[in-house]
Amino acid sequence: MLPHGAALLRDPSLNKGTAFTDAEREALGLRGLLPQHVHTQAEQVRRVLENFHRKPSALEKYIDLNALHDRNETLFFRVLTDHLEEMMPIVYTPTVGLACEHYAHIFQRSRGVFISATDRGRVEEALRNWPEPGVRMIVVTDGERILGLGDLGANGMAIPIGKLALYTAAAGIAPADCLPVVLDVGTNNEGLLNDPLYIGLHQRRLAGADYDALVDEFVAAAERVFPGVVIQFEDFASHNAFRLLRKYQDRICTFNDDIQGTAAVAVAGLLSATRATGGALGDQRLLFLGAGEAATGIADLTVGAMVADGLPEAQARGRCWLVDSHGLVVAGRVDLAEHKRPYAHDHAPVTDLVSAIRVLRPTALIGAAAQGGAFTREAIEEMARLNERPVVFALSNPTSKSECTAAQAYKWSGGRALFASGSPFEPVMLGGHTLVPRQGNNCYVFPGVGLGVIAVGARRITNEMFMAAARALSGAVSQADIDQGSLYPPLENVRQISARIAAAVAEVACAQGHATVPCPDDLPAFVTSKMYEPDYPVYVEDPKRRM
């Protein structure tokens, strides 16, 4: 039953603010609780934007939007959906990293479910306290590796909140279907442990069997409370991320966006780059700065794409090389984690990036190690010496962790670099031409993957689905985009792109037998019909409208 009076105004999922009509105000006990004038949603958006643009900093803008989310959910998503290109850097990267760092000090109202190490044996109870029973999408983090910022503990809740906001704005997954979760297992961040305002457990991180038991309990409880739910693991440290993905991916409907979503976006960018270079993906030689979740995820999906195009797997793997903190990953090293070993090729040791570029002669340089400024002028110039159109992806975020800026990549390569980044950069004027870099941001992929999986009730999420997503994303890049140096389509088109990706993912789910609903002939129309629009409902019909 719909609440009345002040209770209705305090419920952000139902509140319409000054947009409640006279008939609704009369019937729902709102007379006198609102100023007299009835505003349209468009007028409310105008007010929101006026106040938003007055805020002096990105963090203040984040707090402003967060407050709107807390009081009027529909209006928040209308603003976000209609102005996503402007709002995304605030609700997600790069500002969300800053918000995580300050989360305990800007905390206003709890959103999502916090499951702590002290909740062992009561995780299901915690999830059942969530008021929405039909959750279809969970984004969960343990806060150990937030972007390139490291261990931020329970402050990492801003990441699932931001991700799920993009699921709604970019792919139309209804807010009621989304649940952000933090597994608060403690933190090893001394600054947080010594901060009396820190919102999480003031203890060292749980590890080993106790950590695994909590994750197991969470996964089992989530499946019982929300049958068929999709669980996205987000910003887990590499030592847990890979093994948790291997553990659960064939048991539940799950994926790790840092590994698989990042991979799909990067592969889409590589596919777009081949249109500018004239070669095939199988002709590329990739050198990664980084050997963690993002780098090896991209390498794995690239290898899969090359194999699908006819290249033997051994040759495909031989085209991908990793550089970690100890230098080039080679077969003779004895310190290698399991996820690096498939890319440990026979080669003499190489200790620095520029030397690796010189000896390996890569066509693409991909940064995924959160080392700000690591792509030096010497490195970019060497890439440009070796390649007519060097591919340079500076994928680490936030902006302070970017391996180089767009301006640096273009300038040092003589305007020839095919550049993409994890953080947004402005267009660059060089030699009388304007080059438009676009973000290789996961928001191009994960919302559409989620929409496609939910639409057909997929039991599993497979690597083939991410390959389909990568090809669909690259297919949305126009020749005009390529001509101006953009390897991704305009972000303003992300809802159409998400629908396109969702249809491609759903098609794979149907073909692989993972769908639990009958697969319609017109998948694009089917997934589009499932997309939420942030329009106000009519609670009480105005008699004047029937005259």
* Active-site residue list: 92, 163
The whole-angstrom separation of Cα 291 and Cα 235 is: 15
The whole-angstrom separation of Cα 527 and Cα 47 is: 33
Q: Which residues of 425-458 are buried (b: 16+ CB within 10 A; e: fewer)?
A: beebeeeeeebbbbbbbbbbbbbbbbbbbbbbeb
The whole-angstrom separation of Cα 3 and Cα 80 is: 26
**Is 258:241 a contact under the CB 8 Å cutoff?**
yes
**Count of CB atoms situated within 10 Å of the CB of 125:** 11
DSSP H/E element including 54: helix 41-54
Parallel, antiparallel or unpaired: strands 327-328 and 391-394: unpaired
Taking each helix axis as running N to C, give the angle between helix 293-308 and helix 262-277, from 0 to 180 degrees, rounded to the nearest 10. 50
Cis peptide before 227 (omega within 30 of 0): no
Map residue 231 onto helix, strand or coil.
strand
CA atoms within 13 A on the CB side of 378: 8
**371, burial (CB in 10 Å: exposed 0-12, middle 13-18, buried 19+):** middle
Q: DSSP string of 238-297?
A: HHHHHHHHHHHTTTSSEEEIIIIIHHHHHHHHHHHHHHHH---GGG--EEEE--SHHHHH
219: left (phi over 0), alpha (psi -120 to 50) or beta: alpha
**32, burial (CB in 10 Å: exposed 0-12, middle 13-18, buried 19+):** exposed
Query: Torsions phi, psi of 219, nearest 5?
Result: -60, -45
**Is 324:317 a contact under the CB 8 Å cutoff?**
no
Angle CA 480–484–524, to nearest 5: 40
